[in-house]
Amino acid sequence: MAALVVLAAVAAEVRPLVLIGNIDKFTAYIAQIVPVLRPAHLGGDLAEWYWGLPKWLALLGETLLMAYLGTLLGALGGFVLCFVAAGNLVRNAALRFGAKRFLEICRTVPEIVFALIFVIAFGLGPMVGVLALSIHTAGALGKLFSEVVENIDMKPVEGLTGTGANWVETVRFAVLPQVLSNFASYALLRFEINVRGAGVMGFVGAGGIGQELLIAIRNFYYSDVSAILLMIVLTVFAIDLGTEKLRHRLIGHEERR
Instruction: Give the N- to C-terminal CA distance of the chain in Å, as an integer.
Output: 44
Amino acid residing at 139: G
2 has pLDDT over 90: yes
254 has pLDDT over 60: no
Amino acid residing at 3: A
Spell out a b/e string for 149-176, using b for 16 or more CB atoms within 10 Å of the CB, else e: beebeeeebeebeeeebeeeebbeebbe
pLDDT of residue 256: 56
pLDDT of residue 244: 81
Would you list the DSSP string of 39-71?
Answer: GGGHHHHHHHHTTTHHHHHHHHHHHHHHHHHHH
pLDDT by residue (tens digit) across 189-235?
Answer: 899 899 888 888 888 878 789 888 888 988 989 899 999 999 988 99
Question: What are the extents of the domains in the chain?
Answer: 53-256
Q: How confident is the model at residue 253 (pLDDT cuts 50, 70, 90)?
A: low
Q: Give the whole-angstrom CA distance, residue 203 versus residue 193.
A: 17
pLDDT of residue 140: 95
Cβ distance 75 to 137 under 8 Å?
yes
Q: What is the mean pLDDT of the chain?
A: 89
Length of the chain: 257
Q: Give the whole-angstrom CA distance, residue 224 versus residue 49.
A: 7
pLDDT of residue 24: 83
pLDDT by residue (tens digit) across 104-143?
Answer: 999 999 888 999 899 888 888 889 999 999 999 999 999 9
Find out if CATH 1.10.3720.10 is the number for domain 53-256.
yes
Q: What is the mean pLDDT of residues 67-92?
A: 93
As a whole-number percent, the residues of the chain with pLDDT over 90 amount to 42
Q: What is the mean pLDDT of residues 18-37?
A: 85
pLDDT of residue 257: 57
Residues with Cβ within 8 Å of residue 35, at least 6 apart in sequence: 45, 49, 223, 226, 227
Query: Which of 75, 101, 60 has its CA nearest to residue 189?
Result: 75
User: 223-226 — which CB contacts under 8 Å span 24+ positions?
Assistant: 223/33, 223/35, 223/48, 223/49, 224/52, 225/33, 226/33, 226/34, 226/35, 226/49
pLDDT by residue (tens digit) across 141-189?
Answer: 999 999 999 999 999 999 988 888 899 999 999 999 999 888 988 998 8
